[in-house]
């Protein structure tokens, strides 16, 4: 695919989607869900101060997985989260204390979008 196909939203050609995944024992869902909501209280204000963020979504599944998906205008701006204290120190500490195990974060260039 050589051209970006954008249906409902115009994104910069340099836009990336950042995907952070983690897992936990399903029996720990209540504790992990509570920890996720707690971390949102200090992570959201910190992320709002960063340039380049277009969208941010977070979800905790009772089946034992967590995902954070964010859309950034550039890879460089997405990489800010790799060094954000509230994310990599405080949030990681609180989530690991609840039993969460993280996998490496991946930034993906966006080839196309579709919104209903």
Distances (CA, A) of 24 to 38, 62, 66: 17, 9, 8
- pLDDT tens column, 87-107: 999 999 999 999 999 999 999
Q: Write down the pTM of the prediction.
A: 0.87
Q: What is the DSSP letter of 31?
A: H
Query: 25-111 adopts what CATH topology?
Result: Alpha-Beta Plaits (3.30.70)
Distances 68 to 31, 51, 61, 97, 104 between C-alpha atoms, Å? 18, 18, 12, 18, 12
CB atoms within 10 A of CB 8: 8
The model's pLDDT over 73-91, given as tens digits with 9 standing for 90+, comes to 999 999 999 999 999 999 9
Q: Are the C-beta atoms of residues 90 and 40 closer than 8 Å to each other?
A: no
């Amino acid at each position: 695919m050589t051209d970006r196909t954008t249906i409902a939203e115009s994104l910069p050609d340099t836009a990336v989607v950042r995907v952070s995944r983690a897992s936990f024992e399903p029996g720990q869902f209540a504790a992990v869900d509570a920890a996720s909501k707690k971390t949102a209280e200090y992570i959201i204000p910190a992320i709002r101060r960063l340039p380049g963020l277009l969208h941010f979504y977070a979800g905790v599944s009772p089946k034992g997985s967590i995902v954070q998906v964010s859309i950034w205008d550039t890879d460089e701006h997405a990489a800010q989260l790799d060094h954000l204290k509230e994310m990599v120190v405080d949030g990681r500490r609180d989530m690991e204390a609840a039993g969460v195990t993280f996998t490496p974060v991946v930034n993906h260039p966006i080839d196309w979008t579709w919104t209903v």
